[in-house]
Chain A
Amino acid sequence: MPYSVVGKSVKRVDAVAKVTGKAKYTDDFFERDMLVGKILRSPYAHAIIKSIDVSKARALPGVEAVLTHLTVPKVKFPTAGHPYSLDPSHRDKADRLILTDKARFVGDSVAAVVAVDELVAEKALKLIEIEYEVLEALTTPEAAMREGAPLIHEDCEQNILASRGYSFGDLEAAFSESDFVFEGEYETSPVQHCHLENQVSYAYLDGEGRLVIVTSTQIPHIVRRIVGQALDIPWGGVRVIKPYVGGGFGNKQDVTIEPLNAAMTLAVGGRPVKLELSREEAMIDTRTRHAFKFRIKTGLTKDGKINGIYIAAVSNTGAYASHGHSIASSGGGKFRYLYPAQAMKYEPVTVYTNLPVAGAMRGYGTPQIFFAYESHLDEIAHKLDMDPIELRQKNFVQVGHVDLLSKNRILSCGIRECVAKGKELIRWDEKRELYKNQSGDKRRGVGMACFSYASGTHPVSIEVAGARIVMNQDGSVQLQVGATEIGQGSDTVFAQMVAEVLGLPVEMVHVISTQDTDITPFDTGSYASRQTYITGMAVKKAAEEVKAKLLDFVWGMTDIPAETLDLRERNIVFKHNGEVVMPLEQAAMQTYYDTVFGRPLTSDTSNNARVNAIPFGVTFAEVEVDIKTGKIEVLEIYNVHDSGRIVNPQLAQGQVHGGVSMGIGYALSEQLLFDEKTGKTLNNNLLDYKLPTIMDTPDIGVGFVETEDPTGAFGVKALGEPPVISPAPALRNAVFAATGVALNRLPMNPQRVFEKFKQAGLI
């Protein structure tokens, strides 16, 4: 079905506001009498606080309050940005205090100061005297799980947070029926989101004594709930406002600074207090991507059909649970869709360590597991002397497959077409042949890797989304959604959907980008690549409701039955031939001012999506490896996605560009480094943390295979996170093809590559 607005690269609704500086972010707002909050951080990775003396800090002129674990509510709360669950066993682990009485990583918040300005606050921090009892710093999962290791959290034996996995089919039989069983080990590093805008918020009590928090978050409604939990106050007593946000990538799908910010304003009688993290702070005390270690076994027939898969995983969650075991679970769950084997066993363990806290980050466990498995598959293909593409093609999922555990059904699948397209873009066959027998100091190779993902979280969590539309006198509308625009372009996509349904030019849909929990419809937020798919359903539903009400109203005005009418190009028209009945504006005006039937048209919708659509895709990459220096140069890279129908091709391309560049950093250069003994982060700044610059980013080729998923509004599936999943294994496989050296640990930075090449005798 042809659409007039959906599928077009319309201009971002916030483009002008953002490029002219009119878009306001949290830091752009200012309250009268605003104070500044600063956090004192533990210098020890693992230490009990014996005593705190704040008297000198408190006495410093300009200091308004000093907070410690003794002065703030002592209620343990969870921080993960998941919807609340009525089932207590399904809730996130509550292991965090606003200020801790036991430091669990270097940088843990042990006290805080509220002062008239930053300099005074920082001076005051230095005057706080704390006596610690230092405990052993457990900086690796192995150390943490060791018999007799001190417990980071008293209630978790061996420091294991959780180890729930899954198993189906008879794996032993699957392996014994296999012609080959291959094994491999793979490892990924912790990385950081590095969104442009650091965590920032300000909080105050309003005239009614309600707590107001303005914050840079992906999840305003969840922030409201968790602040309520942390302070032990009614959730309705908290109002959270989310202005424009400068990126999140999952790091703001977590509640980090808001409870402390709230405690700060309460400590000064409700005066506004601003709390802003520096880059150095944000890199240690927000969230990171979980580092994983994998052990994999795959049983195959001699023609390459996978019989059984065994994956053991150790996930390092750091000092607090945050999203905790959900990362390992989700990665294992989303992996299952791509190569459904008759038997599979997944044994993940999520372990606490005395390192910065790992949480949600774009891809949510899938970049890790797909790096491991897609690397593993390339080694298998190599051993079977089979083209890596052919091996995958023999095992791809088919439409109609129902996942045994989630019960999600594959209703659309374009992975084969994605691979075919990518293969052609990179000229796979030609280059595989050309680069077969290389020697010399510069060697080239092509590699590829695939992925599957999900659209939202069903059936793991609820998928409620809200949308509200008000039609104005001129036929234009305001759209409010509970889902948050954080740079990904969702507001624009929603505007397109409403414009499509109501026959409006997209400029006549005004999206209210700010979420305010007092005003905005309920939605759990921006995560899980759920916007276009999940919130899209609510938006379409709201627009259709307004349309139905409008046509009904016109029926009343004209005696023309509503079902024969339609909306096109700002007109009410006959559905069958497009003949104009009246301009939209005339009808809209009547809805406001008709002396008898006047009643402005609105809709206020909520949608609980109990479906999930599985997106797929592939990365193809060509590299040149400098054998002597260990440097890997990306010459070409293509991501081809099946994300259902693409609502806005230009914005979708932007998503892919961002994701691929993030994937390249993950593959080649990024890693947070810690001192193994002390647990101190070594490179929590953007000089020493090697986020690629635009100069390091090659031209990124983007392709879409547009399937139409029947469950999504307009046939959409998720696209937000998927682009980051497969670049790292594709690059690793390209290096493998170029050099024959298997780099099974991320990142493949020059130092590490040098060591491996030396081992392999290439240097």
Chain B
Amino acid sequence: MYDIQGYIEAESVSDAVALLASNPRLKIIAGGTDVLIKLRHGQMEGAELLSIRKIKELERIEQLADGTIVIGALATFAQIFHEPIIHNNIPALAEAAVSMGGPQIRNVATIGGNICNGATSADSASTLFALDARLRLRSSAGERVVPVQEFYLGPGKVDLKPDEMLSEFLISPAGFRGFGGHYIKFAMRKAMDIATLGVSVMCKISGDVFREVKIGLGVAGPTPLRCVEAEEFAKGKAIYAETLAGIGRLAVKSTNARTSWRASREYREHLVEELTQRALHVAIVRAGGAEIG
């Protein structure tokens, strides 16, 4: 039994933002896979919910003429995993999508909710970081676009004003064209689990040299993060095992892992070093490079 006081369904984005503006107590519910858990744990007493599930335009995934990929906030993980646009252009996001929960959860959980929940463990977050995704936020006053890196303010905290809602993610071609990418979810189980570490890498190569490497990590700090030092180091370096080892070591420098009963800091850092390299091995091949023995 949930402590729900009110439930309204918005018909459109403008309808939704108008409702949000009129009642600051309203909480948005989409797939419900995070909100219902909070309700069950008594973290949202007397909840007044605004459902956005009827807003079909938020479900779309499309590629614009300039190559930008637009993913509606209501796109489910199952939808993302099955979408050719995602598979053909940013397979690492498809890998992230299918690593999440189980089939039933993926059928209802949305990528917008995954990000707005603000968890460092969000399965889509590290890949959206590596892709330099931007978020379009709408309110009755208008809209703004923020990079995903700036959207996360702290654990469970995102830059979403009470009267705002996330409408879609924008991924510019500059973020993925010519890159090969790969996502590794390291968890204790192969399904229905929270990541111990999420590693998403994108790399662009020319010949035997890295032109650009982007590394997004989840659960390596209070929010998802990018490994700037390692990325800088990689630029122009020859692609061979020692370079990867160096990238792995430097990636740890950007992290702020802590010891908890889930895993020790030492182990998490070891995983960052190891799994960044493993992800790069795959990404290099996807970027057109040769396998590193």
Q: How far is the CB of B89 from chain A (nearest CB, A)?
A: 27
B274 to A696, Cβ gap below 8 A? no
Residues of B within 8 A of A690 (CB): 188-189, 193
Query: How many residues on B have C-beta within 8 angstroms of the other chain's C-beta atoms?
Result: 22
Q: How far is the CB of B58 from chain A (nearest CB, A)?
A: 27
Q: Does A437 contact B (CB under 8 A)?
A: no
Q: Which of B8-16, B135-143, B262-270 contacts A (4 or more CB under 8 A)?
A: B262-270
B190 to A695, Cβ gap below 8 A? yes
Task: Name the residue of chain A whose CB is nearest to the CB of B268.
Answer: A751
Residues of A within 8 A of B189 (CB): 669, 690, 692-693, 695-696
Partner of B1 from A119, A673, A696, A754 at Cβ < 8 Å: A119
Q: What 1/0 flags go to B264-293 for Cβ under 8 Å of A?
A: 100100110011000000000000000000
**What's the Cα separation between A23 and B286 when bound, in Å?**
52
Q: Is the interface of A mostly helix, strand, loop or mixed?
A: loop
Query: How many residues on A have C-beta within 8 angstroms of the other chain's C-beta atoms?
Result: 26
A673 to B102, Cβ gap below 8 A? no
Residues of B within 8 A of A695 (CB): 189-191
Residues of B within 8 A of A687 (CB): 192-194
B102 to A763, Cβ gap below 8 A? no
Q: How far is the CB of B268 from chain A (nearest CB, A)?
A: 9
Q: How far is the CB of A64 from chain B (nearest CB, A)?
A: 17
The verdict on A682 contacting B190 (CB below 8 Å), with A119-B3, A122-B42 known, is no
B263 to A751, Cβ gap below 8 A? yes
B1 to A669, Cβ gap below 8 A? no
Task: Name the residue of chain A whose CB is nearest to the CB of B42.
Answer: A122
CB within 8 Å of B: which A672-728 residues: 673, 682-683, 686-688, 690, 692-696
Q: What 1/0 flags go to B179-190 for Cβ under 8 Å of A?
A: 000000010111
Q: How far is the CB of A746 from chain B (nearest CB, A)?
A: 15
B270 to A669, Cβ gap below 8 A? no
Q: Is the interface of B mostly helix, strand, loop or mixed?
A: loop
Partner of B274 from A118, A628, A669, A673 at Cβ < 8 Å: A628
Q: What 1/0 flags go to A739-762 for Cβ under 8 Å of B?
A: 000000000011100110000000
**What's the Cα separation between A119 and B2 when bound, in Å?**
8
The verdict on A629 contacting B186 (CB below 8 Å), with A687-B194, A754-B270 known, is yes
B270 to A750, Cβ gap below 8 A? no
Q: Does A117 contact B (CB under 8 A)?
A: yes
**What's the Cα separation between A306 and B107 when bound, in Å?**
58
The verdict on A693 contacting B192 (CB below 8 Å), with A117-B1, A683-B261 known, is yes
Q: How far is the CB of A60 from chain B (nearest CB, A)?
A: 15
Q: How far is the CB of B262 from chain A (nearest CB, A)?
A: 7
B271 to A696, Cβ gap below 8 A? no
**What's the Cα separation between A23 and B262 when bound, in Å?**
39
Q: How far is the CB of B13 from chain A (nearest CB, A)?
A: 32
**What's the Cα separation between A683 and B262 when bound, in Å?**
9
Task: Name the residue of chain A whose CB is nearest to the CB of B260.
Answer: A682
Partner of A693 from B190, B196, B275 at Cβ < 8 Å: B190
Residues of A within 8 A of B262 (CB): 688
Q: What 1/0 flags go to B158-197 for Cβ under 8 Å of A?
A: 0000000000000000000000000000101111111010
B274 to A751, Cβ gap below 8 A? no
Residues of B within 8 A of A694 (CB): 191
**What's the Cα separation between A755 and B102 when bound, in Å?**
30
**What's the Cα separation between A122 and B46 when bound, in Å?**
13
Residues of A within 8 A of B264 (CB): 751
A754 to B261, Cβ gap below 8 A? no
B1 to A118, Cβ gap below 8 A? yes
A629 to B261, Cβ gap below 8 A? no
Task: Name the residue of chain A whose CB is nearest to the CB of B192.
Answer: A693
Q: How far is the CB of A207 from chain B (nearest CB, A)?
A: 30
A629 to B3, Cβ gap below 8 A? no
Residues of B within 8 A of A630 (CB): 267
Task: Name the residue of chain B whose CB is nearest to the CB of A36.
Answer: B1
Residues of B within 8 A of A682 (CB): 261
Residues of B within 8 A of A117 (CB): 1
Q: How far is the CB of A667 from chain B (nearest CB, A)?
A: 13
Residues of B within 8 A of A696 (CB): 189-191
B188 to A750, Cβ gap below 8 A? yes
Residues of A within 8 A of B102 (CB): 693
Task: Name the residue of chain A whose CB is nearest to the CB of B4.
Answer: A119
Task: Name the residue of chain B whose CB is nearest to the CB of A633.
Answer: B190
Question: In the complex, which of the residues B188, B189, B263, B271 has the most CB atoms of chain A within 10 Å of its own CB atom?
Answer: B188
Q: How far is the CB of B47 from chain A (nearest CB, A)?
A: 12
Residues of B within 8 A of A755 (CB): 267
**What's the Cα separation between A751 and B274 when bound, in Å?**
14
Q: How far is the CB of B98 from chain A (nearest CB, A)?
A: 12
Question: In the complex, which of the residues B102, B196, B262, B267 has the most CB atoms of chain A within 10 Å of its own CB atom?
Answer: B267
Q: What 1/0 flags go to B89-119 for Cβ under 8 Å of A?
A: 0000000000000100000000000000000
Residues of A within 8 A of B270 (CB): 628, 754, 763
Task: Name the residue of chain B whose CB is nearest to the CB of A676.
Answer: B261
Residues of B within 8 A of A751 (CB): 263-264, 267
Residues of B within 8 A of A118 (CB): 1
Question: In the complex, which of the residues A628, A669, A686 has the most CB atoms of chain B within 10 Å of its own CB atom?
Answer: A628
Residues of A within 8 A of B188 (CB): 669, 690, 749-750
Residues of A within 8 A of B3 (CB): 119
**What's the Cα separation between A629 and B271 when bound, in Å?**
7
**What's the Cα separation between A695 and B102 when bound, in Å?**
10
Q: What 1/0 flags go to A84-121 for Cβ under 8 Å of B?
A: 00000000000000000000000000000000011100
Residues of A within 8 A of B196 (CB): 750
Q: How far is the CB of B274 from chain A (nearest CB, A)?
A: 5
Task: Name the residue of chain A whose CB is nearest to the CB of B197.
Answer: A629
Residues of A within 8 A of B190 (CB): 693, 695-696
CB within 8 Å of A: which B218-239 residues: none
Task: Name the residue of chain A whose CB is nearest to the CB of B271.
Answer: A629
Task: Name the residue of chain A whose CB is nearest to the CB of B194.
Answer: A687
Residues of B within 8 A of A629 (CB): 186, 271, 274-275
Residues of A within 8 A of B1 (CB): 117-119
Q: How far is the CB of B73 from chain A (nearest CB, A)?
A: 24
Q: How far is the CB of A635 from chain B (nearest CB, A)?
A: 14
**What's the Cα separation between A352 and B288 when bound, in Å?**
62
Q: How far is the CB of B229 from chain A (nearest CB, A)?
A: 22
Task: Name the residue of chain B whose CB is nearest to the CB of A694.
Answer: B191
Task: Name the residue of chain A whose CB is nearest to the CB of B1.
Answer: A118
Q: How far is the CB of A753 from chain B (nearest CB, A)?
A: 10
Q: How far is the CB of B198 from chain A (nearest CB, A)?
A: 14
B274 to A754, Cβ gap below 8 A? no
Task: Name the residue of chain A whose CB is nearest to the CB of B187.
Answer: A690
**What's the Cα separation between A11 and B274 when bound, in Å?**
50
Q: How far is the CB of B154 from chain A (nearest CB, A)?
A: 22
Q: How far is the CB of A174 from chain B (nearest CB, A)?
A: 43
Task: Name the residue of chain A whose CB is nearest to the CB of B102.
Answer: A693
CB within 8 Å of B: which A632-691 residues: 669, 673, 682-683, 686-688, 690
Residues of A within 8 A of B191 (CB): 693-696
Residues of B within 8 A of A683 (CB): 261
Q: How far is the CB of A689 from chain B (nearest CB, A)?
A: 10
Residues of B within 8 A of A754 (CB): 267, 270
**What's the Cα separation between A684 and B55 when bound, in Å?**
37
Task: Name the residue of chain A whose CB is nearest to the CB of B190.
Answer: A695
Residues of B within 8 A of A669 (CB): 188-189
**What's the Cα separation between A119 and B196 when bound, in Å?**
34
Task: Name the residue of chain B whose CB is nearest to the CB of A752.
Answer: B267
What are 12 A-B interface contacts by the 8 Å CB criterion? A669-B189, A682-B261, A690-B188, A690-B189, A690-B193, A692-B189, A695-B189, A749-B188, A750-B196, A751-B267, A754-B267, A755-B267
Question: Which 3 A-B pairs have CB atoms at the shortest separation, nearest pair first?
Answer: A695-B190, A118-B1, A695-B191
Extra contacts besides A693-B191, A695-B189 (18): CB < 8 Å: A119-B3, A122-B42, A629-B274, A629-B275, A669-B189, A682-B261, A683-B261, A687-B194, A688-B262, A690-B189, A690-B193, A693-B192, A693-B193, A696-B189, A696-B190, A749-B188, A750-B196, A751-B264
Query: Which residues of A are in contact with B by a Cβ distance under 8 Å?
Result: 117-119, 122, 628-630, 669, 673, 682-683, 686-688, 690, 692-696, 749-751, 754-755, 763
